[in-house]
Amino acid sequence: MEKVLNFKQGRVPLLISMPHAGLRLTPAVQAGLIPEAQSLPDTDWHIPRLYECAAELGASTLAAEYSRFVVDLNRPSDDTPMYVGATTGLYPATLFDGVPLFREGLEPSAEERATYLQHVWMPYHQTLQQELARLKAEFGYALLFDAHSIRSVIPHLFDGKLPDFNLGTFNGASCDPVLARQLEAICARHDQFTHVLNGRFKGGHITRHYGNPAEHIHAVQLELCQSTYMEEFEPFNYRADLAASTQGVLRELLEGLLAWGRETYEK
């Protein structure tokens, strides 16, 4: 396997995780994909670019290099379903539209997929766990922001159009409720965008597994509508004219996380 992740250590107690930003494929996955999947339509496009303020804020960042079509880093290693109803698993079998991802008989073998778990999934989660432990050891607490994006209308997965900003805290289990309310309030100040807390997307495996307020690790997922910053269909171009205002809200959310941490733990 080639380079599987891109990790940059920061100087503040915040880690931004980007598990679905990867574009690399293994030969077995590349060979088996249906034509409609070759452009990697279910990617969280341009997320590292969208969160470019992370370096200035001093946050650590962790981004995947391999596509979720290889292995989904936001699913548990035992592939326990995350959501009721239509969803995708550790090794996605369908596109978000419900269409089979692989041509018949050309799915990667179980042995092949076992290598993806070992060489792609495991390093990402080991890095994530180690960095959260480092942050907690240095600051006494750690903040995790799991950054995602998705097409705004996908009838197979949800009804109607998603809100623009979909915050998830696993129904309050992954972070302090005061922090969640403050992040909601930041979104509410920007009435050109819609938002929801714990709606269709409540947080996947990363948010649920690593968020542990009792141990002073607070995790939040943001599922962002791609219509707020890019063209949602191929060729999936970044729209700087749209992204500018979206990036402003994202920066406020990250600054809000850090401010809450200082006020709560560093009095």
Strands 142-150 and 60-64: unpaired
Residue ranges in the chain whose pLDDT is less than 50: none
Q: Which domain holds residue 53?
A: 5-265
Q: Give the pLDDT confidence score for residue 89 in this predicted structure.
A: 87
**For residue 240, how many other CB atoms are within 10 A of its CB?**
11
Count of domains observed in the chain: 1
Q: Give the pLDDT confidence score for residue 231 in this predicted structure.
A: 98
pTM of the model: 0.95
How far apart are alpha carbons 30 and 249 in whole angstroms?
Answer: 36
Q: Give the pLDDT confidence score for residue 156 in this predicted structure.
A: 86
Cis link prior to 235 (omega < 30° from 0)? yes
Q: Give the pLDDT confidence score for residue 110 in this predicted structure.
A: 95
Letter string b/e over residues 105-142, b meaning 16 or more CB atoms within 10 A of that residue's CB: eebbeeeebebbeebbbebbbebbeebbeebbeebebb
Structural tokens at position 208: 């649920």
Please give the C-alpha separations between residue 223 and each of 30, 33, 198, 199, 263, in angstroms, as whole numbers: 27, 25, 10, 10, 26
Instruction: Report the CATH number that the domain containing residue 154 is assigned in CATH.
Output: 3.40.630.40
First to last CA, the chain: 46
Q: Kindly report, residue by residue over 116-142, the tens digit of the pLDDT.
A: 999 999 999 999 999 999 999 999 999
Mean pLDDT of the chain: 95
Determine the distance from the C-alpha atom of residue 217 to the mean position of all C-alpha atoms in its chain, rounded to a whole number.
17
Structural tokens at position 239: 């729209």
